[in-house]
Structure 1
Amino acid sequence: MERDLIKRAKQGDQDAFLKLMDSQMQTMYKLAWTYLKNEDNVADIVQDTILTCFEKLPTLRDEKYFKTWMMKIVINHCKNVLKKEKRIVHMESLPEEAFVEREYSNREWNEMLDSLGEKYRTILLLYYLENFNTREISQILDMNESTVRVRLKRGRDKLVKEYSFVSPAVSVL
């Protein structure tokens, strides 16, 4: 079904493109949130990603790599925002964020991921929440697959070490 939408979208079918982007909205949002943690920036990234996908979709060579290609676009847009943020000096000591009530398990998962460095957090998110394999993650992040496997293992180990005090009978991952 998705490959059919991609083929039709590549041929200029706007309805197919909108359905395709709608099906990927949550995935784009989650990944952008992992990087930016700011509702406004995340919304901008999702919009920018949709626009980039629309403009560049004809350049996608193989439909089966659409999601990998799209995730790479999200990550590149996030990295650009982070570069710009580093150059901006914020005057407020506490950032103002919108209050959003989330399920307890999502908050707990996000807190666990936040305790890791970005290099582990992104890989764990792509692996466990988006179900990418290590080869696909290596393509998305432009890194060696063995590096992805090592960071995946180290990220798991850090989580287990940090959260093993909760209950020895409960496995974190």
Structure 2
Amino acid sequence: MNKKQLAEAAARGDEQAFLQLMNNEKQQMLRIAYAYMRNEADALEAIQETVCRAWLKRNSLKKPGYISTWLIRILIHVCTDELRRRKRTIPADTRQESLQGGMESDHHSLDETDAAENRLDIAYAVEQLEGPYKDVIRLKYYEDMTIVDIADILQRPDGTIRTWLHKALKQLRKYMADRGGAKER
């Protein structure tokens, strides 16, 4: 069976077809979830919640050929919901510390090099972007998706995605320029 046939069967309640679809999509879902959650355990939990929601909402899949887009959209909602919930429960003064601490562990094998610091700065700067800008950057640069694919996933016109990408990059450049200026003093 091809992806569309599997999606059609899953939408009708075929558990085996659904499991095969999830197995086919798991690597991409893990990369996206990790880009949002920044650690493997939270990413796996987000995927588990996504699979549950997808199974429960399988009847709402209108175009089986777009199963990947549909799953990614659910995954992004799960991740952003969890991050929003955490933001409400973590005191403001510890947010930056926990975010930077998590990122440092991702790069523990690198000695205190400028490249590692830049990656940390960029990752932190991406986290500071507004929701849709952050989504566009993650999908474009972490997942290497096209503008058209991102527009499908976020259900926005291509022009809106291009605008968000332009504004996000502008904000990131400004942040990095400000950080560079602060280091020279």
Q: Does the alignment reach a TM-score above 0.5?
A: yes
Residues 134-159 of structure 1 deviation map (CA, whole Å, 9 limit, x = unaligned): 24423422444312112334556777
Residue equivalent to 1:123: 136
Matches within 5 A, 1:43-82: 43-82=44-83
Residues 138 and 113 (structure 1 numbering): CA distance in 2 closer, same or farther, change over 3 Å? farther
Residue equivalent to 1:145: 158
Q: Secondary structure at the match of 2:57?
A: helix
**Structure 1, gaps ≥5 residues long:** 163-173
Contact 1:34 1:121 in 2 (8 A): no
Which one-letter code corresponds to 2:86 in the other structure? E
CA RMSD of aligned residues (A): 3.5
Q: Secondary structure at the match of 1:19?
A: helix
What is the deviation of 1:83? 1.7
Residues 100 and 86 (structure 1 numbering): CA distance in 2 closer, same or farther, change over 3 Å? closer
What is the deviation of 1:73? 0.5
Q: How many correspondences in the alignment? A: 161
Contact 1:72 1:140 in 2 (8 A): yes
What is the deviation of 1:127? 3.3
Residue equivalent to 1:42: 43
Contact 1:28 1:46 in 2 (8 A): yes
Residues 126 and 10 (structure 1 numbering): CA distance in 2 closer, same or farther, change over 3 Å? same
Which one-letter code corresponds to 2:150 in the other structure? I
Which one-letter code corresponds to 1:30 in the other structure? R
Distance 1:80 1:131 in 2: 23
Residues 103 and 146 (structure 1 numbering): CA distance in 2 closer, same or farther, change over 3 Å? farther
Residues 133 and 89 (structure 1 numbering): CA distance in 2 closer, same or farther, change over 3 Å? closer
Contact 2:7 2:65 in 1 (8 A): no
Distance 1:101 1:50 in 2: 30
Distance 1:81 1:101 in 2: 24
Distance 1:9 1:87 in 2: 36
What is the deviation of 1:12? 2.2
Contact 2:31 2:143 in 1 (8 A): no
Distance 2:145 2:136 in 1: 9
- State percent identity of aligned pairs: 27
TM-score norm. by structure 2 comes to 0.66
Residues 89 and 150 (structure 1 numbering): CA distance in 2 closer, same or farther, change over 3 Å? closer
Distance 1:20 1:102 in 2: 35
Residues 27 and 115 (structure 1 numbering): CA distance in 2 closer, same or farther, change over 3 Å? same
Matches within 5 A, 1:84-95: 84-89=85-90, 95=98
